[in-house]
């Protein structure tokens, strides 16, 4: 059991990639990856600490997995990720069961010193899911200094990965059956600024040197959506017309308190440019409710903005005061209960918008990438449209199709829910 390892991965899609890279390093040292914690000699907890709930989840997970250490089935407990980086010194005192706290910035070096691998890693990642989509992490860190966000303090400044390295990893993913490549970073649209290149140039390389039928972008910043990027997405059907752009708010007073740029006028111009250049675009955004400085007036401005712009996809979060951030001590701020109520109000508005958008698609034929068998017995398979990212957006349930995961099939939309579509396999 001493040469087996299991991973507990917490947090966002970027952490998924980090966790898979960690497992590849263990494999290079002769470890066998197992799924069950009770069968693992080593357990790795790859943590998040972006907001209070993520910190609490990390603590619960460490405490739960420390039981295997106490019982003796696990001989080594390792904690990596943002919680380890952010709270390393105090956590080492509070959790004596943890054998190793691994830094975000020196992760590979510290793990290599721990493992003494006999040879370099044979592969960039150990894939932990069998799905036909995978994330490609194109950069680390962030240069924005939003008042509410601790990521720059944890992950450091923005650092793009080399183009050749990314293309090689993308080709490796395709060879293992991946058919949808999803580019992620803290600020995906900032790719290449530190390397004299651009996100558009990276996409052109991926289009030329890989065969993914679908490539999707997540986590764009409204200040960095270039005209070149829009024109490329509009002209290339392999690039999903999907824009995930966290806007956070629309009221200038709140955006200023958040230290966000652009302000309202620039955000509106960004949306107008996307709609003009990519007419079939789906825009997904997220907002923070209850940030210091948000009064009923600013919330009302956000409500009107959501009603006017009819975003295809939308999520909301109540403000989480994070120690070490500029917003932590800002006052006044709405109560947590007020923030949560405002979240509910926005999502109720969005639910009706989403249903109307979905109803407008009934009768149309659209391509769908199959994720697997449907969990609804009335439908054979389920998948997603080009306007749906995995895990955060809706599902298309398809009757009359027996396609394998990763296949792209044309379906006729027959029904619409608040967030899902229902369809039958097209005979065309």
Where does 73-144 have alpha helices with state H?
Answer: 82-86, 88-94, 107-115
3-state secondary structure of 216: strand
Q: What is the mean pLDDT of residues 208-232?
A: 97
3-state secondary structure of 129: coil
For the chain, domain boundaries: 4-115, 133-359, 365-425
Q: 229 φ, ψ to 5°?
A: -65, -45
In 3D space, the residue among 335, 394, 371 whose CA is nearest the CA of residue 343 turns out to be 335
0.85 surpassed by pTM:
yes
Is the per-residue pLDDT at 2 higher than 70? Answer: no
Query: Which CATH class name applies to 365-425?
Result: mainly beta
At 209, list the tokens.
């040197």
pLDDT digits (tens, 9 = 90+) for 305-363: 999 999 999 999 999 999 999 999 999 999 999 999 999 999 999 999 999 999 999 99
Per the document, the length of the chain is: 428
Query: Which CATH class name applies to 4-115?
Result: alpha beta
pLDDT digits (tens, 9 = 90+) for 257-311: 999 999 999 999 999 999 999 999 999 999 999 999 999 999 999 999 999 999 9
Burial 14-32 (b: 16+ CB within 10 A, else e): bbbbbbbbbbbbbbbbebe
% the chain with pLDDT above 90 = 89
Is the per-residue pLDDT at 117 higher than 80? Answer: no
Q: What is the mean pLDDT of residues 119-128?
A: 82
pLDDT digits (tens, 9 = 90+) for 98-116: 999 999 998 989 998 888 8
Tell me what the pLDDT averaged over the chain comes to.
94
Q: What is the mean pLDDT of residues 127-155?
A: 93
Is the per-residue pLDDT at 130 higher than 70? Answer: yes
pLDDT digits (tens, 9 = 90+) for 374-427: 999 999 999 999 999 999 999 999 998 788 999 999 999 999 999 999 999 976
> Taking the C-alpha atoms of 33, 46, 161 and 117 in order, what is their torsion angle to the nearest 10 degrees?
-40
Q: How far is CA 246 from CA 10, 12, 233, in A?
A: 21, 14, 19
- Opening angle at CA 417, ends 401 and 249, nearest 5: 120
In 3D space, the residue among 111, 147, 89, 138 whose CA is nearest the CA of residue 28 turns out to be 111
Query: Which CATH class name applies to 133-359?
Result: alpha beta
Q: Please give the DSSP secondary-structure letter assigned to residue 389.
A: -
* pLDDT value of position 427: 60
* pLDDT value of position 1: 46
* pLDDT value of position 297: 97
Gap between the Cα atoms of 254 and 369, Å rounded: 39
């Amino acid at each position: 059991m001493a040469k087996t390892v299991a991973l507990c991965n917490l947090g966002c899609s970027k952490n998924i990639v980090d966790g898979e890279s960690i497992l590849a390093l263990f494999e290079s040292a002769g470890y066998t990856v197992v799924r069950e914690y009770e069968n693992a000699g080593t357990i790795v907890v790859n943590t998040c600490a972006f907001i209070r709930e993520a910190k609490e989840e990390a603590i619960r997970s460490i405490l739960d997995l420390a039981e295997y250490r106490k019982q003796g089935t696990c001989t080594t407990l390792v904690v990596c990720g943002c919680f380890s980086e952010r709270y390393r010194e105090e956590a080492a005192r509070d959790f004596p069961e943890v054998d190793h706290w691994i830094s975000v910035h020196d992760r590979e070096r510290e793990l290599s010193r721990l493992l003494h691998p006999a040879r370099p890693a044979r592969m960039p990642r150990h894939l932990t899911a069998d799905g036909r989509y995978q994330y490609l992490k194109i950069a680390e860190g962030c240069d924005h200094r939003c008042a509410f966000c601790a990521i720059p303090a944890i992950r450091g400044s923005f650092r793009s990965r080399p183009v050749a390295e990314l293309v090689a990893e993308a080709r490796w993913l395709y060879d293992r059956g991946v058919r949808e490549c999803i580019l992620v970073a803290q600020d995906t649209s900032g790719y290449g600024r530190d390397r004299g290149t651009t996100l558009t140039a990276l996409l052109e390389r991926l289009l030329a040197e890989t065969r993914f039928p679908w490539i999707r972008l997540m986590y764009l910043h409204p200040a960095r959506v270039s005209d070149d990027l829009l024109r490329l997405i509009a002209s290339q059907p392999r690039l999903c017309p999907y824009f995930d752009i966290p806007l956070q708010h629309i009221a200038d007073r709140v955006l200023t308190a958040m230290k966000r740029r652009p302000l309202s006028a620039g955000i509106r111009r960004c949306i107008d440019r996307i709609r003009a250049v990519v007419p079939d675009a789906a825009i997904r955004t997220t907002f923070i409710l209850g940030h210091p400085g948000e009064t009923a007036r600013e919330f009302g401005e956000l409500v009107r903005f959501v009603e006017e712009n009819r975003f295809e996809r939308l999520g909301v979060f109540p403000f989480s005061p994070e120690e070490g951030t500029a917003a932590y001590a800002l006052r006044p701020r709405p109560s947590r209960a007020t923030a949560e109520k405002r979240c509910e109000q926005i999502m109720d508005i969005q639910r009706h918008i989403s249903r109307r958008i979905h109803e407008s698609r009934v009768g149309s034929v659209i391509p769908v990438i199959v994720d697997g068998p449907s969990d609804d017995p009335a439908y054979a398979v389920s998948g997603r449209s080009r306007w749906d990212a995995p895990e955060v957006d809706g599902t298309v349930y398809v009757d009359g199709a027996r396609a394998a995961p990763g296949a792209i099939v044309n379906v006729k939309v027959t029904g619409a829910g608040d967030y899902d579509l229902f369809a039958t396999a097209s005979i065309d």
